[in-house]
Amino acid sequence: MKVSLRSKITFLVLLPTIAVGLAAMITSTNIVTRIINREIKNQLNAASMVGIEHYQNGNTADYYMNVRGILYKGVVQITDDSSIVDRIKEYSGIEATFFYGDSRYATTWKGENGKQMLDTKLDSDVYEKVYKQGETYFLTDSTIDGVNYYAYYQPVKQPSSGEVVGCFFTGKPSNQVASQIDQIRKQVFLITLFIIVISMILASVMLWFIIKSLKKSVKDLGAVAEGELAISDQSKQIKKTDEISEIAITTVKLREALRNVIGEIMESIDLVKESSEKLSVTADKTKETTEVVKRAVNDISKGAMAQAEETTTANTHVVEMGNYIANTVSDVNQLTLKASTMNESSMEAIDILGELQGINMQTKEAIDLIYSQTNTTNLSAQKIREATNIITDIADETNLLSLNASIEAARAGEQGRGFAVVAAQIQKLAEQSDKSAKAIQDIISMLLKDSNQAVQTMEVVKNTIQKQSEKVEASRIKVNSVNSGIKKFTEGINEIRKRTSKLDKERTHIVDIVQNLTAIAQQNAASAEETLASTTDLAFTMEEVADAIDLLKTITKKLSSEVEIFHM
């Protein structure tokens, strides 16, 4: 579906106007609501202050409740005294209640019987805010007896201590305030609607002038599209007051510019026709010359390629030979290192064998010493066994003598009692000596057994050490012989390394020469290839030039026929 320009612009004007109107209406309503809420709060605060001042009235006495549950302030009774709350409602239409603790003691709410409704309690949230925190409390949506109220609670404090003991409530029905806000909202809506309508009328008038100028410009552009360029100068007749007028003036200037351009194009077409004919003849001659050059360069390129291939083959063989020589040099160097390592290892082996031979001699001497000491220990053990045998015999004789002494002491009676004690003690010592001697004999027997085994082992070790010394000496002789061979081998390797080093230097020189020749041959071949490619490209280019000339002729004819539609 095609949408007219007038509709689009109207929509663009209408949309922001409506958006601004709605935003203004919402903003103004919110501001008015806040102002009204603040005003109501001030009214309720003033009414509550009137009520509290009525009870204070210069009286500094405290609030208290007597035994019958009647509330007083000093000597003034508050219970059942609704005069102040009734006057507040009469003069301002504001509901009022006096709370002591969480109970009502004076209120404007009356029951069906006309008496005050004092049986309801203070809400817990209000009690927390007013009594415990000691603050005023303002609510915009408090529900009391099924009706929404603007509620204001003012703390009432004891004159003597400043403790919060009660509060004074003032309230106003929300529906009264809501009607005021709705009235203001309707007024704002009507004002906004009036502004939108006026804006639309002004926009429509302006659009009529804009569309009129645009239609004139469209008509002129349509004439240009049909090839009509012969027009009178109309730019002076257009009043330049806005952008639309500038579009109309620019359209007239466009027709004049197109007229000049088309005239120049027609002149250029004639020149292009003449130049393309001459260029076609030149292109044909250049194409023939290029074919001759192409054949000559092709022959040169083939010879250069053959030379490059042969040089590359020679270079490959020389490089392979160089690689073999380089590998030989590397192997000889590694062999030299290994021979040097072998020589060092051989010298170390000779030193180690010498040290081993010295250690072996020290071990042999130590074994001989141990063997001698073991024999001496064996002889000493045998002598100790003989001594223990003597001790055993002495102990037996001592035991026998002590037994005889005991018998004689018994015969002597009372006079031999002390001698009998000594004889018994001697007998006891003899028995202990006999036991110790037998234990020593057992130990000596084990010692002799171990000593004999050690002597036999020393004999075996001496023989083994002797054989080891002989083997070490034989190894030393063989290692010396091997070391002599390694020295001769190392000298030969060093001579080979010197000769291969000279050969490697010559190889490097030859490789450089052959590589230079290869590079030159490849460069010649590449140059020939590039020349051939350039010649081929030139031939293709000349063919493309010829094709382009033919295309230019075709385009010139087509352009000439298309330009003929314009009337100068």
The average pLDDT across 433-459 equals 79
Residue 152 confidence (pLDDT) above 90: yes
- Reading the block at residue 229, the tokens are 């360029």
Q: 99, 169 in Cβ contact below 8 A?
A: yes
Strands lying side by side in the sheet with 95-100: 103-107, 95-100, 164-173, 147-157, 137-144
- What gap in Å lies between CA 335 and CA 324, rounded to an integer? 16
Q: Could you give the percent of the chain with pLDDT greater than 70?
A: 80
Residue 452 confidence (pLDDT) above 60: yes
**Polymer length of the chain:** 568
Q: CA 357, 362, 366, 371 torsion: positive or negative? A: positive
How does DSSP assign 483-500, residue by residue? HHHHHHHHHHHHHHHHHH
How high is the pLDDT of residue 314?
65
Q: pLDDT class for 137, splitting at 50, 70, 90?
A: very high
What is the model's pTM? 0.37
Q: 278, 548 in Cβ contact below 8 A?
A: no
Q: 384, 479 in Cβ contact below 8 A?
A: no
The tens digit of pLDDT for each residue in 349-358 reads: 778 867 877 8
Q: 258, 224 in Cβ contact below 8 A?
A: yes
Residue 267 confidence (pLDDT) above 80: no
The tens digit of pLDDT for each residue in 359-415 reads: 878 877 877 787 787 778 778 777 877 878 787 888 788 878 877 877 877 787 777
How high is the pLDDT of residue 511?
72
By C-alpha distance, which of 182, 199, 201 is closest to 20? Answer: 199
The average pLDDT across 24-47 equals 86
- From residue 239, alpha-carbon distances to 209, 215, 281 in Å are 13, 16, 57
Other C-beta atoms within 10 Å of 266: how many?
15
- What gap in Å lies between CA 315 and CA 375, rounded to an integer? 87
The tens digit of pLDDT for each residue in 499-548 reads: 777 777 777 777 777 677 677 767 877 776 777 777 777 667 767 777 77
Which run of H or of E encompasses 360?
A: helix 243-412
Q: 198, 180 in Cβ contact below 8 A?
A: no
- What gap in Å lies between CA 438 and CA 389, rounded to an integer? 8
Residue 150 confidence (pLDDT) above 90: yes
Identity of the amino acid at 525: A
Identity of the amino acid at 108: T
How does DSSP assign 159-200, residue by residue? TTT--EEEEEEEEEEHHHHHHHHHHHHHHHHHHHHHHHHHHH
Q: 349, 517 in Cβ contact below 8 A?
A: no
Strands lying side by side in the sheet with 71-73: 63-65, 71-73, 76-77
- What gap in Å lies between CA 316 and CA 310, rounded to an integer? 10
Per the model's pLDDT, the better-predicted residue between 537 and 154 turns out to be: 154
The tens digit of pLDDT for each residue in 177-214 reads: 777 777 877 888 888 888 888 887 887 787 777 777 77
Q: Partners of 228 in the beta sheet?
A: 567
- What gap in Å lies between CA 364 and CA 71, rounded to an integer? 129
How does DSSP assign 319-340, residue by residue? HHHHHHHHHHHHHHHHHHHHHH
How high is the pLDDT of residue 393?
81
Residue 240 confidence (pLDDT) above 60: no
- What gap in Å lies between CA 496 and CA 489, rounded to an integer? 11
Residue 138 confidence (pLDDT) above 90: yes
Q: What is the mean pLDDT of the chain?
A: 78
Which run of H or of E encompasses 139?
A: strand 137-144
- CATH for 5-204 is 3.30.450.40
- What gap in Å lies between CA 354 and CA 480, rounded to an integer? 11
- What gap in Å lies between CA 45 and CA 155, rounded to an integer? 11
How high is the pLDDT of residue 447?
78
By C-alpha distance, which of 271, 303, 246, 228 is closest to 528? Answer: 303
- What gap in Å lies between CA 549 and CA 544, rounded to an integer? 8
How high is the pLDDT of residue 94?
92
Identity of the amino acid at 413: G
Q: pLDDT class for 116, splitting at 50, 70, 90?
A: confident
- From residue 282, alpha-carbon distances to 278, 289, 443, 532, 543 in Å are 7, 11, 136, 22, 12
Residue 427 confidence (pLDDT) above 80: no
Per the model's pLDDT, the better-predicted residue between 428 and 558 turns out to be: 428
The average pLDDT across 495-500 equals 76
Q: pLDDT class for 166, splitting at 50, 70, 90?
A: very high
Other C-beta atoms within 10 Å of 451: how many?
20
How high is the pLDDT of residue 245?
66
The average pLDDT across 478-494 equals 74
Q: 202, 9 in Cβ contact below 8 A?
A: no
Residue 468 confidence (pLDDT) above 80: no
Residue 101 confidence (pLDDT) above 70: yes
Per the model's pLDDT, the better-predicted residue between 475 and 136 turns out to be: 136
- What gap in Å lies between CA 404 and CA 410, rounded to an integer? 10
Q: Partners of 149 in the beta sheet?
A: 142, 173
How high is the pLDDT of residue 521?
65
- Our CA dihedral for 485, 486, 488, 493, rounded to 10 degrees, sits at 140
- From residue 153, alpha-carbon distances to 34, 86, 94, 144, 392 in Å are 19, 17, 13, 14, 126
Burial class (CB in 10 A: 0-12, 13-18, 19+), 450: middle
Which run of H or of E encompasses 71?
A: strand 71-73
How high is the pLDDT of residue 194?
87
- What gap in Å lies between CA 470 and CA 459, rounded to an integer? 17
The average pLDDT across 448-473 equals 78
Query: 105 φ, ψ to 5°?
Result: -125, -15
- What gap in Å lies between CA 114 and CA 229, rounded to an integer? 99
Farthest-apart Cα atoms in the chain, separation? 189
Q: pLDDT class for 95, splitting at 50, 70, 90?
A: very high
How high is the pLDDT of residue 155?
94
